[in-house]
Amino acid sequence: MPDVEMKPTDPKATDAKPAEDTKAEPLSPLAEIKNNAALIDRAVSTLEPRFTHRVLRTLTSLRKRIDDSILRNAIDEIYAKDDSVHKTLIKWLPGTSSTSTEAQEMDVDSLSKPPQASLAPEAEMYLRLLILQHLLASEETHERALELANETAEKMQTLNRRSMDAIAAKIWLAVDRAYDLAGELSDARPIFLAAQRTASLRHDDEAQAALINCLLRSYINYNLYDQADKLISKTTFPSSASNAQFARYHYYLGRIRAVQLNYTEAHTNLQQAIRRAPPAKTAPGFYQAVHKYFVVVELLMGDIPDRSLFRHVVLEKALNAYFEIVKAVRTGSLAQFQATLSKHAAQFEEDNTYTLIIRLRQNVIKTGIRRLSLSYSRISLRDICVKLHLDSEEDAEYIVGKAIRDGVIEGRIVHDKGWMESGVQKNGYGPEVSEVFGRRIAFCLDLHNQSVKAMRYPLNAHRKELAAAEGAREREKELAKEIQDGDLDDDDLGGDF
């Protein structure tokens, strides 16, 4: 067979192929708005809410790139100019700016298409949401944003469409933001209460979760913790809500429980808020706010937060004042605690943690008393007053007695001689240690039993073992029969048999 001459490869042709696999350029804001409106209309026609959720996931990045001209061009291209929806939406935008020509050049192909007609009302609500968020970004348009929010909320309630639930939840959050920026957050409370009742009757879980969070935020903002607690007890937060709504709900619940002195439940809820929250760099404000309460509640529980928490990139500057409070509580220095509290009082009041931090004074005193009981076997109440900067010996006697009763220290107060005698510290043995050890062993055994129950075995695996055992027995019978008949010799049986 003759050899086939191979053609030389062209290096230019091989280099041209990777160039074709370049990454596609992102859509312009105008094209993205039109694409999102089409996706929402498709979600309504096909009864597929996943398209609506896909659109809402791009809301955060899109609202940072839009302006008046982009919104105006999007409304002009999605709706005909003689359409009533077009006239309603366009009136909320100011006049066309000089940048409108640049926005038109960004998507020349889309401008040649005729305007779409008869879109679903959900597309109109999406455009209203974009306009509302755009108006909220400027201080000059806050009043106009409040008017648009009221009109959008009324129209959304009258439509009563289940395909609008996901967009309605975002709109309610924007309405809450509009009332907050206008300084009329308390005026929105009756609107949210009525909408929450309607959402619960309609089984609108997404809107119900957003409205419960808006109401809790309103109550906490005006220090109405009793009403917030009643709202929590009378309502059930939807289990199908998103992680972002769950994070907000646990954050508000943790703040309420901390004020009510229920620090264990507050710590649990704040921990859940941290776990469900977006990444730290995605939502740094929320991440910092949750950790401020988390640190204070952990101190109130008698624990010291981990030092690595204050070295986090997002939390390092925000928790600087709280780190100084932690050091004062850890050392038990009441003077250092009072100095830190007065130094950062403005920041604590701004963070709404000042009243909780004031409660740490007792923890600082208890820590100081514990350190003194370990250092001295006998110390006078007068020396305790001097070292802990207390007002009088009566206060010192009361605080030491309460610490002994609570089990913080072991000792007794000698009233006649005016001193405190420290008792012998507990060793590592005793009934309490054995109980803890027993609980740990029971937990390990229960974990082992649950693991065994959760194990999965192949189907009908025992039948294979039975078949193998049956075959082995048959072979043994045949071998024994051949031995009896004398059919096997020494070579078949092996030398050692």
- Provide the number of structural domains found in the chain: 1
Q: Does residue 383 lie in a domain region?
A: yes
What is the tens place of the pLDDT at every residue in 387-432? 676 667 777 777 777 777 766 667 777 777 777 777 655 555 566 6
Q: Is residue 403 part of a domain?
A: yes
C-alpha distances in angstroms, 369 versus 301, 332, 384, 400, 404? 17, 8, 8, 7, 10
- As a dihedral over the C-alpha atoms of residue 203, residue 209, residue 214, residue 218, rounded to 10 degrees, the angle is 90
Domain assignment present for residue 364? The answer is no
Average pLDDT, the chain: 79
Residue 94 lies in a domain: no
- pLDDT per residue as tens digits for the range 181-225: 888 888 888 888 888 888 888 888 888 899 999 999 999 988 889
Comparing C-alpha atoms, which of 211, 206, 213, 212 is closest to residue 239? 206
- At 241-297, the pLDDT tens digits run 888 889 999 999 999 999 988 888 999 999 999 998 888 888 888 999 999 999 999
Residue 416: give the domain boundaries.
373-426
Higher pLDDT, 97 or 250: 250
Look at residue 391 and tell me if it is in a domain.
yes
421 falls within a domain: yes
Reported confidence tier of residue 139, pLDDT bands at 50, 70, 90: confident
More confident residue, 117 or 347: 347
Residue indicated by tokens 């920026």: 181
Check pLDDT > 80 for residue 57: yes
Cα separation, 447 vs 438, in Å, equals: 14
CB 161 within 8 A of CB 125: no
H/E stretch holding 380 reads strand 378-380
Q: What pLDDT, on the 0 to 100 scale, is given for residue 101?
A: 36
pLDDT at 160: 77
The answer to whether residue 108 is domain-embedded is no
79 DSSP assignment: S
CA distance 153 to 174: 10
Alpha carbon 70 to chain centroid distance? 33
Segment 130-139 shows an average pLDDT of 84
List the structure tokens of 108. Answer: 């020349």
Q: Does 384 fall in a domain?
A: yes
Q: What is the pLDDT of residue 17?
A: 46
Least confident of 3-12, 115-124, 134-143, 445-454: 3-12
Q: Tens digit of pLDDT for each residue in 155-167?
A: 888 887 878 888 8
Q: What is the CATH classification number for the domain harbouring 381?
A: 1.10.10.10
Average pLDDT, stretch 72-94? Answer: 81
